[in-house]
Structure formats: C-alpha cells, structure tokens
C-alpha cells in the first residue's frame, strides 16, 4: 500500500470541506488533500436528489459569503445548489487536490510522530492536521421496523433515490413526515395522480409547516442584485437578521413563536378542507421543538384523492405490504423511507482514534457528543471538526457556521505556524466549561421543553446537535484562536 504525506488532510467535499480547502489555499497552506467517499463535490446536495429537493433557507443566504451567485429564485432547488458547489470548486483552483471515491476508513493519531494517519482503500495518508467535514446529515438512518428486510418490492432511503425506477401507476408508501418527506410527497403525488398510482404517507408525528414564500426573481431584480454596488450584501444581511430574529422564540420564550403558529394553522386550513384530516395533521408539541418545515404544497398533496395519510403506528412490513397496529394491511410496490440520518452517533466517529487510542465514538458513548467550540476535542490533537457537536441550526444557514469554524481553524493553524508548535489539543477543563454553559442554556430552549422527540436529542435526551444562541454570538466566540484553552506541543 502506498503512503502519501501532506500537511493537512480534509475529509469530505461538501460545503464544509470545500470551504476549508479554499481558505487554506488562500492562506498559502497549499499542501493538502481532500478525501471524498463519493465521486463529486457537493456532500448532502450531491446525495439528496429526491424529487422536489429544495433548500428551505433562501440561497442568497445559503451560499458562501465569498462566492456570491446569480440565483434564479428565492429558494433554490438541489440541481442549482449542486451546480453552484461544482462551479465554486472549479473556479477555486483547488480541485487538483481532491481525491474522489476514496473514503477515509480509519484515522489514528501517532503522538510520537505528531501526525495523523488515515487509511483509505487506495493507500494511507499522513498529515499534521485532520479537518473533518463529513457532515452531520450524511449517514442515512433506516427505520427499525419488523420485517422491513423481507419486503420484495423496491425500498430505498430518501437520500439514495432510485432514479432508474419508473413509478408510473405504482402503489408507493413514504415513511416519515420530516423536511425530506414534505418535499418528496407533493412531487410523488403529482406523478402518481397522472399515471393512476397511489400514495400512502405514514406519519408518526405531525410536523409544524409554515408557508414557503418561494418565487422566481424577476430579471430586474437579478440585474439589480448583479449591478447595484452593495445591494447583494445588503439583501443577504437583511435575510440573515430576519432569520436570526427567530432565535429568541427557540431559545428563550417559545411564546414569541405565536405568529408562526398562526401561519402554520392557516396553512393547514388553506390546504385541507376535511376536518378529520386537519385534526390528523395538527401538531401536538411546541413549534420549533422539531425543525419548522416550509411548504405550500404539503397539505394540498395530503388532501389529494390518490393519497392516504396513515397515522396508525406501523406494526410490520411484509413481502408486499405495510401492516399497521390496527391490523390494516396496505399493499405497496415501492417503499420510500424518509426517516432521516444518524445525527448524534456519527458513524465516522467509530473510526477516529486519538492520542490514547480510544475512538471518538467510545469517548462520546457515555457522555454524548461534546467538543470545544464544536470544533476541537480533548485527546484528539490537531483534529478540527466542521459542523461538530452543538453547531447545528434549525432556523438559518449552516454556511454561516461553516465559515465561522473555518476561520477559527485558520487561526489555529496560524498559531501553530507562528509559535513553531506541532500540535494543539483542547483542554478537558475548557471543553467541560464550554459544554456545561451550553447545556445550562439548552434547558431553556423549546428543543428540550417543547414536548417532542427529535433528531436534535441523543439517547440520553441531551441536545448535542444545535447551537442555543444566535449565530452572530457563535461567530464572535470563534473570532480568534484562544490558545489558553489548548495544550500545546512544541517541535
């Protein structure tokens, strides 16, 4: 097996890995490689190609601040976002250092050599620093349902859409009513309606769904955004602060979400006439406890003649049907599971070993995911996570968080260079302090108090995924490298 040595190794070529690559390159840190398991850049936007895949954050905000784009509409669709990521990657001049179809299988820190060694199917990589941008929503989670493996028809996860399958006239079931399902269902409903097919939607928990004010930008608007100096920045800033205004309702006073509750209730009344169906789709937890969804066509799709919303719990799957707890059996040809991702037990952590030889997964098994500033972890020198523990957002663009973390990592690398250090490692005490304060704050949030189960919470009921303050606050806290919170090793 071959072995290649680089200064920095980045895992993942989604928004996070690409941002790190571009910024390292800008800093003159050109000796890096980006390992990517897939065959292209894009991460979640490469993988989620299901019908209707759209970003529910406006693209003027859900894009790099340093790579503005002439977006055609307010909420962009997956192909446009994927094309944007490909374009930014191509124009950055860093693609020559991306290594595709090369999953990082195992990473371990050699404290004597002060180096990371990462094993891949095509040889080892040895690096001073390891930047993990593998994504928090990248590992599909299949539901544990009795008999699902015996189903004889087609079954696939929303993030692994089978485009070869002709759904015309088929009987299809979708399990799940999260952000993915509410985009898939209206599209499937139309295709199946036109071809005599039928759709069953299996809902365990009714989500809150507010309208999405999506529209195509007029040519005048696009031209103004391109040409008028400062207008794009101003527009982005207005969107940013508009989204930040949601934070108090999630983190301090859920009562502030009342206008959104009213909007969501009106959305139900507008989309559904049948009182029984209205009742079924009405959520019974506080708005914001789970991710607030945005759609104009979810409720009309559920009300369509060729759709049945099933709310009885699923008892089992047989060779050709789903059976619910009330004993009803609904035959199907195709099963789509839109059941989300591994979020609090990230699969990659099983394969990353720190200074003591313990895996990150073992470290986190007892206490839950925790890092210093969502980025650095005691016992894992020179490892920097992007979109690490408690960096997630329910209300705004993750790109803002990614750029904040990449700036912090650059500052850490600058510190290493300037002081002739071989490694920095987050101190356990600083890490504990950070997480204690975070979890104290978390107790007041709607995610904990709102009366729901969600992918934000781990098996101990702790929210280890979201950031409980404004993103402006997050950026401020990561604005400079705080060496006093780190153990340093000198060459």
Footprint of ligand N01 (CB under 6 A):
54-56, 137, 143, 145, 158, 175-181, 202, 204-205, 291, 314, 338-341, 453, 455
- Residues 119 and 95: their CA atoms lie apart, in Å, by 21
DSSP assignment, residue 180? T
- Residues 153 and 63: their CA atoms lie apart, in Å, by 39
DSSP-based three-state secondary structure for 93: coil
DSSP-based three-state secondary structure for 403: helix
DSSP-based three-state secondary structure for 450: coil
251-259: long-range contacts, CB 8 A cutoff, minimum separation 24: 251/441, 251/444, 251/445, 251/446, 251/468, 251/469, 252/444, 254/286, 254/287, 254/288, 254/446, 254/449, 254/450, 257/286, 257/287, 257/288, 257/446
Q: The tokens of 169 are what?
A: 């006239």
Nearer to ligand N01 by Cβ, of 399 and 421: the residue is 399
CA dihedral of residues 339, 398, 61, 211 (deg, nearest 10): 30
CB neighbour burial string for 443-457, b if at least 16 within 10 angstroms, e if fewer: eebbbbebebebbbb
Nearer to ligand N01 by Cβ, of 122 and 204: the residue is 204
Q: Which residue has the tokens 């890995």?
A: 17
Q: How far is the CB of 243 from ligand N01 (least distance, A)?
A: 13
Question: Do the Cβ atoms of 381 and 423 come closer than 8 Å?
Answer: yes
Nearer to ligand N01 by Cβ, of 205 and 422: the residue is 205
Which backbone phi and psi does 477 adopt, to 5 degrees?
A: -70, -20
Nearer to ligand N01 by Cβ, of 145 and 442: the residue is 145
Residue count of the chain, please give it.
Answer: 491
Nearer to ligand N01 by Cβ, of 46 and 291: the residue is 291
Nearer to ligand N01 by Cβ, of 43 and 340: the residue is 340
Nearer to ligand N01 by Cβ, of 44 and 94: the residue is 44
Question: Do the Cβ atoms of 107 and 352 come closer than 8 Å?
Answer: yes
Q: How far is the CB of 50 from ligand N01 (least distance, A)?
A: 9
DSSP assignment, residue 349? G
Q: How far is the CB of 163 from ligand N01 (least distance, A)?
A: 18
Nearer to ligand N01 by Cβ, of 247 and 416: the residue is 247
Distances (CA, A) of 110 to 12, 235, 247, 351: 22, 48, 42, 15
Q: How far is the CB of 483 from ligand N01 (least distance, A)?
A: 34
In order, the DSSP letters of 211-235 are: -----BPPHHHHHHHHHSTTHHHHH
Q: How far is the CB of 444 from ligand N01 (least distance, A)?
A: 21
Q: How far is the CB of 15 from ligand N01 (least distance, A)?
A: 11
Q: How far is the CB of 319 from ligand N01 (least distance, A)?
A: 19
Nearer to ligand N01 by Cβ, of 78 and 423: the residue is 78
Q: Which residue has the tokens 């391109």?
A: 226
Q: How far is the CB of 160 from ligand N01 (least distance, A)?
A: 12
Q: How far is the CB of 183 from ligand N01 (least distance, A)?
A: 6
Q: Where are the alpha helices (DSSP H) in 125-257?
A: 181-195, 219-227, 231-244, 247-251
Q: How far is the CB of 10 from ligand N01 (least distance, A)?
A: 22
Nearer to ligand N01 by Cβ, of 204 and 469: the residue is 204
Q: How far is the CB of 151 from ligand N01 (least distance, A)?
A: 14
Nearer to ligand N01 by Cβ, of 51 and 143: the residue is 143
Query: Which residues have CB under 8 Å from 238's CB, separation 6+?
Result: none
Q: How far is the CB of 294 from ligand N01 (least distance, A)?
A: 8
Nearer to ligand N01 by Cβ, of 171 and 212: the residue is 212
């Amino acid at each position: 097996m071959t072995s290649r040595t680089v200064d920095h190794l980045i895992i993942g070529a989604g928004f996070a890995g690409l941002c790190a690559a571009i910024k390292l390159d800008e800093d003159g840190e050109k000796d890096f490689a980006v390992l990517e398991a897939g065959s292209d850049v894009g991460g979640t936007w490469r993988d989620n190609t299901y019908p209707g895949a759209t970003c529910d954050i406006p693209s003027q905000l859900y894009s790099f601040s340093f790579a503005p784009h002439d977006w055609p509409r307010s909420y962009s669709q997956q192909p446009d976002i994927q094309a944007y990521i490909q374009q930014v990657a191509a124009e950055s001049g860093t693609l020559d250092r991306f290594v595709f179809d090369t999953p990082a299988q195992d990473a371990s820190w050699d404290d004597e050599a002060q180096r990371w060694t990462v094993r891949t199917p095509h040889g080892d990589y040895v690096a001073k620093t390891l930047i993990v941008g593998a994504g928090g929503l990248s590992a599909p989670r299949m539901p544990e349902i009795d008999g699902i493996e015996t189903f004889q028809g087609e079954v696939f996860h929303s993030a692994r859409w089978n485009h070869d399958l002709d759904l015309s006239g088929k009987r299809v079931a979708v399990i799940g009513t999260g952000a993915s399902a509410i985009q898939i269902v209206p599209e499937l409903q139309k295709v199946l309606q036109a071809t005599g097919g039928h759709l069953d939607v299996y809902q365990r928990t009714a989500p809150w769904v507010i309208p999405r004010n999506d529209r195509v930008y007029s040519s005048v608007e696009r031209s103004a955004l391109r040409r008028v100096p400062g207008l794009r920045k101003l527009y982005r800033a207005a969107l940013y602060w508009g989204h930040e205004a949601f934070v108090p309702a999630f983190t301090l006073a859920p009562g502030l979400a009342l206008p959104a509750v009213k909007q969501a209730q009106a959305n139900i009344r507008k989309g559904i006439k049948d009182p029984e169906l209205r009742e079924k789709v009405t959520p019974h937890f506080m708005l914001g406890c789970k991710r607030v969804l945005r759609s104009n066509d979810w409720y009309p799709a559920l009300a369509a003649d060729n759709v049945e919303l099933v709310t009885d719990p699923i008892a089992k799957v047989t060779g050709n049907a789903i059976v619910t707890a009330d004993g009803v059996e609904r035959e199907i040809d195709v099963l789509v599971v839109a059941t989300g991702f591994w979020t609090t037990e990230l699969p990659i952590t099983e394969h990353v070993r720190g200074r003591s030889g313990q895996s990150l997964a073992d470290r986190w098994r007892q206490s839950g995911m925790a890092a210093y500033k969502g980025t650095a972890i005691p016992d894992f020198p020179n490892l920097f996570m992007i979109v690490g523990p408690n960096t997630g957002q329910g209300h705004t663009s993750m790109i803002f968080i990614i750029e904040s973390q990449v700036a912090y990592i650059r500052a850490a690398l600058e510190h290493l260079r300037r002081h002739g250090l071989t490694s920095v490692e987050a101190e356990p005490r600083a890490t504990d302090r950070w997480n204690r304060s975070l979890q104290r704050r978390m107790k007041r949030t709607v995610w904990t108090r709102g009366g729901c189960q969600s992918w934000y919470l781990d098996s101990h009921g702790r929210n280890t995924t979201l950031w409980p303050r404004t993103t402006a606050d997050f950026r401020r806290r990561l604005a400079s490298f705080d060496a006093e919170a780190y153990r340093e090793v000198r060459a």
